[in-house]
A and B are shown apart, each in its own frame.
Chain A
């Protein structure tokens, strides 16, 4: 793949040449920006580009995997009706139990940590944005459009994602729709950009050794030599920072974000470092919650006369909490992992779902539809796959860490299944409908 920017006839214009020439002549006033930094150049851009080349696919793929984890085969992944814009159908695994926690930890965690790198990468190439003429051929026009898809998509994903994990829905539109389709536009831009620039990146990286840069202090720092690609300043200021200093600055920014955010996923002592994150704080004496009982419209009185209904077999089975507690109990340590990246691992005790299926008269359930007594809400019900119902650790939890479930955590009973999105661990469960296999 050849990069038009380095074609031998770069000075020439494509078809229709008079048009491009006319554009080139009409340089708007104020566009004569002098790019001051001596650090800009293909090498620096390539180093940052390489980091993004590794990290962004991980963020993207974990995002698509999360969509699969929600169970699009049951129409419970949002947005629905995405056509072929998703991974092929597969049953989301139940092992390891921390799979979804890892997936979302990577998606949200890396997505946040990479922000300083994205900003630095955009800083490093900004002279290209103000280049005049903006295009000399149709090829360059198409490339500019693909760059809007790439940069617009990336920034859009960052902005919507960062707002979503902090519950600020100032943008008004559906987060799911926007973040999912925005990702596909970004992917389209990314899949064009990488093949176009890969050779340039490799060549630029080979041109200067990282070790050499790491040994060069500020006072020895000079503008890059070699092909400019429109990045090396012709009239730079003296350096105020070495290249290694600049890389350290970007890396330090990422490290700062990591320290301030990782605790919501990793938990333990690190949670205290997430001082500005919603789940950096533990509610007194308990653990983080995704939706309060109050917000779900569940009161203490409403659950007093609670009974669980099991359907799917020949007859409907109805059980009180006492009857459930009298059944064989199973205990497992499982994480609740939210799509927003935070997670918390607790020890749950309750009745295995496969025992409940047998009680309902369904021996080999292919799926189970769980509904909450919560009256409204996008996640008041969820369908579990066969492997999720059948797993030895999948249960209707009644107790947590040796005590009764708190009301906010789903008292009288909630679903706990390994490796599923937190919102599918339905709280305040009213009915379970087992589908025979």
Chain B
């Protein structure tokens, strides 16, 4: 390895990276500045309707994603994860005997959040059609209205949620039953500060019910039923509106 010259070392220390880094960054910035100069500063800003400015949408796209969209999704995901998992008490012989013969619980978390994420993606991506935004332009271009999209969207999202529910029920029915000799029901939620066990799960514990996400057996179907009910109500409402 060649030793850097003192000059190079000093440059690195004061700039924070090598000269090639600086050159690359300057080239990139030059291209961006040239682009802005070509489009012209006037084109970036609409003095009459400020929020319809290119500059606002450019910065806004990043800011809205980082400070609105991301925290919202993260918070929603935390709520879903908390609602569908819990730390389980019940170690010892009594617990063991009580739970013998029952099926090992299946964590519901992914059966809820995956469909909901799919629905969120579909909703955000096709929002203009769903809420009939830009109806005039749409009609002039296609010769059609956006009317069918709302119902299609509601049906699609309901189907996705129902699919998640069906997958969850199948997973629960296929989960193995616990035998009295099995270790206590579902393995407690590991302390998140705990050092991971090398080699993963101890032998003899079926993978499906171990680790995290021991489901609130009593709550998961309720949650799913609520979602389905919501979907059905949405479809009915949309249908009514369509007929009106």
Q: For the complex, what is the distance from the CA of A372 to the CA of B33, rounded to whole Å?
A: 39
A172–B52 CB distance below 8 A: yes
A376 surroundings in chain B (CB, below 8 A): none
A146–B29 CB distance below 8 A: yes
Q: For the complex, what is the distance from the CA of A332 to the CA of B153, rounded to whole Å?
A: 38
A238–B52 CB distance below 8 A: no
Which stretch of A277-285, A344-352, A425-433 is in the interface? A277-285
Cβ of B239 under 8 Å from chain A? no
| Residues of B in contact, count (CB < 8 Å) | 80
Which residues 20-78 in B have Cβ within 8 Å of A in the complex? Answer: 20-22, 24-29, 31-32, 34-36, 38-39, 43, 46, 49, 52-54, 57-59, 61-62, 65-66, 70, 78
- Within the complex, the shortest CB–CB distance from B165 to chain A, in Å, comes to 17
Cβ of A93 under 8 Å from chain B? no
A-B contact pairs, 12 of them (CB 8 A): A7-B16, A139-B25, A145-B29, A146-B25, A166-B134, A166-B138, A167-B138, A170-B134, A181-B35, A181-B36, A192-B25, A220-B200
A185–B134 CB distance below 8 A: no
> Residue-by-residue, is B97-129 near A (CB-CB < 8 Å gives 1, otherwise 0)?
000000000010110001001100110011011
Cβ of B92 under 8 Å from chain A? no
A136–B16 CB distance below 8 A: yes
B118–A142 CB distance below 8 A: no
Cβ of B141 under 8 Å from chain A? yes
Cβ of B225 under 8 Å from chain A? no
Taking Cβ atoms with an 8 Å cutoff, the residues of A that contact B are 1-4, 7, 9, 12, 14-15, 36, 79, 81-83, 85, 112, 115-116, 122-123, 126, 129, 136-140, 142-143, 145-146, 148-149, 151-153, 155-156, 158-160, 162-163, 166-173, 177-178, 181-182, 184-185, 187-189, 191-192, 195-196, 217-220, 222, 235-241, 245, 249, 252-253, 256-257, 260, 275-279, 281, 283, 288-292, 294-295, 408
Cβ of B184 under 8 Å from chain A? no
Identify which of A239, A276, A288 contacts B122 (C-beta below 8 A): A276
Given the known A-B contacts A238-B192, A275-B156, are A149 and B128 also in contact in the complex, defined by CB atoms under 8 Å? no
Q: In this complex, which of B18, B62, B66 has the most chain A Cβ atoms within 10 angstroms of its Cβ?
A: B62
B201–A276 CB distance below 8 A: no
Closest chain A residue to B196 by CB distance? A222
B207 surroundings in chain A (CB, below 8 A): 217, 219
- Within the complex, the shortest CB–CB distance from B42 to chain A, in Å, comes to 11
Which 4 interchain pairs have the tightest Cβ spacing?
A137-B16, A172-B52, A139-B16, A295-B140
Cβ of B210 under 8 Å from chain A? yes
Identify which of A2, A122, A148, A256 contacts B121 (C-beta below 8 A): A256
B185 surroundings in chain A (CB, below 8 A): none
- Within the complex, the shortest CB–CB distance from A197 to chain B, in Å, comes to 12
Cβ of B243 under 8 Å from chain A? no
- Within the complex, the shortest CB–CB distance from B190 to chain A, in Å, comes to 5
B129–A166 CB distance below 8 A: yes
A168–B133 CB distance below 8 A: yes
Identify which of B12, B26, B65, B210 contacts A155 (C-beta below 8 A): B65
